[in-house]
């Protein structure tokens, strides 16, 4: 009987030695966490609890958890740090400022500039691709125009629209020499009305004169916008197809925000469509 007890003692000592040698290496991958028996659930009552005592050592077992449930794109509980799925080209400005390991939603088929891609890699940012928002993911032809006061902003706008993946047709002006804004607003409005362009954007000093001119062309609904909120409203409620901007009233950064929001938004509800139809009915009454 004593021989049997000595054998069990030797086995227990051997098991303790093996466990003590193995624990440090395993703890590198994940912390050792005691599991409360009342929390452990099993598929069958035949499966022992994680908190059961070891049959040989009479010591409680612990569970070491390491990456047992890797996060997936379908995990709705994860915090989405930023949504840029309205864009087809993302620049460093679109990814800068995100915390390390943050999630960034982008459109299917969207591409990153080299500097943006470097930031994503360095910050280990998770890219979650999603279907493009309705109307925003398609490359649009956008007619551009400006007077001498809006020329420099128009040149910046062309670069920005190219980064977003859109095509542009520039109706001038091509310098800061003094010109008349109605000429360029009219050219852009005609291009939109004749379906040569999907949308139009005109820049002068205040944006008002170009809006008045463009709205004289049948089929054009031009909106002078000075904020992102107004830009979205002009598209969602009024189905505006020409945007006018004032170079003396907004900054370059605000111009980019306004244009991005304006292009990405579309009229959505039937009640808004009915009201736009009434605008068109008024227009038809005065056609020659």
For 72-92, what is each residue's pLDDT tens digit? 444 344 434 687 776 767 888
Together in a domain, 146 and 167: yes
Together in a domain, 207 and 278: yes
Is 18 among the domain residues?
no
Encode pLDDT of 123-167 as tens digits.
Answer: 888 888 765 444 445 788 999 999 999 999 999 999 999 988 899
Together in a domain, 244 and 187: yes
What is the pLDDT at residue 39? 33
Q: Which of 95, 130, 165 lies at the terminal end of a domain, its last residue? A: 130
Together in a domain, 173 and 196: yes
Task: Over range 224-244, report the average pLDDT.
Answer: 95
Among candidates 154, 89, 76, 83, which has minimal Cα distance to 117?
A: 89
* Most confident listed range (68-82, 87-101, 227-241): 227-241
**From 148, 166, 186, 237, the catalytic residue:** 237
Is 177 among the domain residues?
yes
Q: How confident is the model at residue 15 (pLDDT cuts 50, 70, 90)?
A: low
Cβ atoms of residues 191 and 169 within 8 Å: yes
Is 67 among the domain residues?
no
Mean pLDDT value across the chain: 76
Is 122 among the domain residues?
yes
Is 26 among the domain residues?
no
pTM of the model: 0.55
Together in a domain, 103 and 190: no
Together in a domain, 88 and 199: no
Together in a domain, 189 and 233: yes
Q: Which domain does 272 fall in, by range?
A: 141-285
Q: In the chain, how many domains are there?
A: 2
Cβ atoms of residues 144 and 199 within 8 Å: no
Together in a domain, 117 and 192: no
Together in a domain, 95 and 218: no
**272 an active-site residue?**
no
């Amino acid at each position: 009987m004593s021989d049997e007890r000595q054998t069990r003692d030797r086995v227990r000592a051997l098991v303790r030695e093996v466990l003590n040698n193995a624990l440090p290496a395993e703890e590198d991958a994940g912390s050792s966490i005691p599991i409360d028996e009342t929390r452990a659930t099993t598929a069958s009552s035949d499966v022992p609890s994680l908190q059961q005592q070891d049959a040989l050592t009479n010591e409680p077992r612990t569970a070491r958890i390491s990456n047992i449930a890797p996060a997936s794109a379908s995990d709705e509980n994860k915090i989405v740090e930023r949504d840029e799925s309205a864009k087809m080209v993302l620049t460093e400005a679109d990814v800068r400022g995100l915390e390390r390991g943050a999630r960034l939603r982008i459109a299917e088929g969207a591409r990153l500039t080299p500097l943006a891609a470097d930031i994503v890699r360095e910050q280990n940012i998770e890219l979650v691709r999603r279907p493009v928002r309705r109307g925003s993911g398609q490359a649009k032809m956008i007619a551009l125009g400006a007077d001498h006061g809006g020329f420099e902003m128009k040149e910046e706008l062309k670069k920005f629209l190219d980064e977003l993946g859109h095509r542009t047709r520039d109706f001038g002006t091509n310098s800061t020499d003094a010109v008349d804004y109605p000429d360029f607003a009219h050219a852009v409005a005609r291009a939109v009305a004749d379906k040569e362009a999907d949308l139009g954007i005109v820049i002068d000093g205040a944006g008002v004169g170009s809006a008045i001119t463009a709205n004289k062309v049948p089929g054009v609904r031009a909106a002078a916008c000075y904020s992102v909120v107004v830009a979205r409203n002009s598209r969602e409620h009024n189905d505006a197809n020409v945007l006018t901007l004032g170079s003396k009233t907004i900054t370059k950064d605000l111009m980019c925000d306004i244009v991005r929001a304006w292009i990405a938004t579309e009229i959505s509800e039937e009640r808004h469509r009915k009201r736009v139809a009434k605008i068109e009915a008024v227009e038809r009454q005065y056609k020659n």
